[in-house]
């Protein structure tokens, strides 16, 4: 989420983060990650200048007022940076304040080749702006990257609203410029389209577009970011991979390949002259009734046991086909006939199909709730009017029957 603030806005965000979204500290399972406590949203660790080990920075939370501000980040980094060692900045963030994200971006960019950004989980909106300031960006193969336009809510008159719209257009240009500090593999028009459409990228997609230099990992989760579940419903076009990342849905195993359907059994050959005669008559009747595709089934169903049995199955098939023709669904006839349905059962099935196809149509056999005066002629009086008339007569001592 990207947030902007000025006198006109209550808040400017890319997702509308609720205050309670990160009310509890994150529990991390990343080896070597800091032990975060409730009042800390991020950590900057130094192994000591003499060790030559890189400075490790963890931005695991919101960027901005409710998490790590750019002022805190710059102050704390300066207190441990010797100007020589590498600075590794780890991200698992839903974003936050846009301008804090841009300030962090510019701070990382000023470090030059010493700075490596690493996406351990989520890197959304303002987080994606910030990480693109690093000289090199690495991304876990099961992480997610998201870019989109700034969003705001505010109060003001029409002039203030127009000024805010102009400001947001300029903020969007800042987002574009930040991403273009990377050697992207897409042109300006495509980048703007992706931002406008709220685009979610896997690690390999982010690398293909040039946002990321290297993909690492074996698919094992680096962080437990289930707390992001409350945030994803604020964004548009959230893919299933992002939901899996924060544990909202379980991975779905691929469905097994469907087994090929067996070839239809050939129609039984009549064993007697009487059966052959019944089969011939049935074929003729079916052709005249438009049921030629059901001959094999009707022969098998009736077993050509008798003329009555054959006629009974044929009449049932005719009733089902007639119902399908009335419903304007003739292609449904064969399936309903071979399912053994009769005419009434077929009509019920067809009604359900038509109702489902017509949208959310609610059918009720309850009387209307409104008991106001009837608008049309020859309508019975409303119950309310009847009772009112009776009470009036009763108060006058009249007949209230």
3 state SS for 165-196: HHHHHHHHHHHHHHHCCCCCCCCHHHHHHHHH
Judge contact between 40 and 61, C-beta under 8 A. no
pLDDT computed for residue 303 by the predictor? 84
User: Alpha-carbon distance 362 to 307, whole Å?
Assistant: 45
Q: Which residue has the tokens 């991975």?
A: 251
* Segments of the chain with pLDDT less than 50: 3-40, 226, 229-230, 360-377, 399-401
Res 134: pLDDT: 97
Closest alpha carbon to 128 in 170, 100, 91, 172: 91
Instruction: For residue 355, give both structure tokens.
Output: 């109702």
CA 145 to CA 124: how far, in whole Å?
A: 6
Q: What superfamily in CATH does domain 2-245 come from? A: 2-enoyl-CoA Hydratase; Chain A, domain 1 (3.90.226.10)
Eight-class DSSP state of 269: P
Spatial neighbors of 53 by CB under 8 A, at least 6 apart, are 47, 85
CA atoms in the 13 A half-sphere facing the CB of 370 = 4
Residue pair 201/207 in contact (Cβ under 8 Å)? The answer is no
**What pLDDT is stored for residue 139 in this prediction?**
96
68 three-state secondary structure:
strand
CA 359/CA 42 separation, integer angstroms: 50
pLDDT of residue 373: 47
CB 12 within 8 A of CB 95: no
Q: How remote is the C-alpha of 339 from its chain's centroid? A: 36
Place of tokens 């974003």: 95
């Amino acid at each position: 989420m990207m947030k902007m603030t000025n006198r006109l806005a209550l808040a400017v965000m890319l997702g509308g983060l609720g205050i309670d979204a990160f009310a509890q500290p994150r529990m991390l399972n990343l080896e070597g990650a800091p032990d975060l406590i409730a009042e800390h949203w991020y950590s900057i660790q130094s192994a000591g200048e003499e060790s030559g080990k890189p400075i490790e920075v963890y931005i695991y939370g919101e960027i901005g007022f409710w998490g790590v501000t750019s002022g805190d980040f710059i102050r704390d980094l300066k207190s441990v940076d010797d100007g020589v060692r590498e600075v590794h900045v780890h991200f698992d963030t839903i974003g936050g304040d846009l301008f804090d994200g841009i300030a962090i971006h510019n701070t990382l960019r000023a470090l030059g080749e010493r700075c490596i950004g690493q996406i351990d989980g989520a890197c959304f909106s303002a987080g994606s702006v910030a990480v693109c300031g690093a000289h090199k960006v690495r991304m876990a193969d099961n992480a997610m990257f998201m870019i989109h336009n700034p969003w705001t809510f505010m109060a003001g008159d029409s002039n203030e609203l127009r000024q805010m719209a102009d400001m947001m257009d300029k903020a969007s240009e800042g987002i574009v410029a930040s991403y273009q500090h990377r050697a992207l593999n897409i042109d300006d028009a495509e980048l703007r389209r992706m931002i406008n459409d709220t685009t979610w990228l896997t690690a390999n997609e982010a690398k293909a577009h040039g946002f990321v230099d290297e993909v690492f990992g074996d698919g094992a989760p680096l962080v437990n970011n289930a707390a992001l579940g409350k945030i994803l419903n604020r964004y548009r076009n959230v893919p299933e991979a992002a939901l899996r990342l924060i544990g909202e849905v379980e991975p779905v195993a691929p469905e097994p390949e469907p087994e090929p359907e067996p070839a239809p059994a050939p129609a039984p050959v009549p064993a007697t002259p009487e059966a052959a005669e019944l089969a011939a008559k049935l074929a003729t009747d079916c052709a005249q009734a438009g049921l030629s595709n059901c001959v094999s089934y009707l022969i098998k169903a009736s077993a050509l046991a008798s003329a009555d049995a054959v006629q009974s199955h044929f009449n049932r098939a005719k009733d089902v086909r007639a119902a399908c023709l009335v419903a304007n669904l003739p292609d449904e006839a064969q399936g309903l006939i071979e399912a053994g349905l009769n005419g009434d059962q077929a009509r019920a099935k067809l009604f359900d199909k038509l109702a489902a196809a017509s949208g959310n149509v609610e059918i009720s056999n309850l009387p209307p709730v409104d008991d106001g005066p009837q608008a049309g002629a020859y309508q019975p009086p409303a119950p309310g009017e009847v009772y009112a008339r009776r009470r009036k007569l009763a108060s006058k001592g009249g007949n209230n029957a």
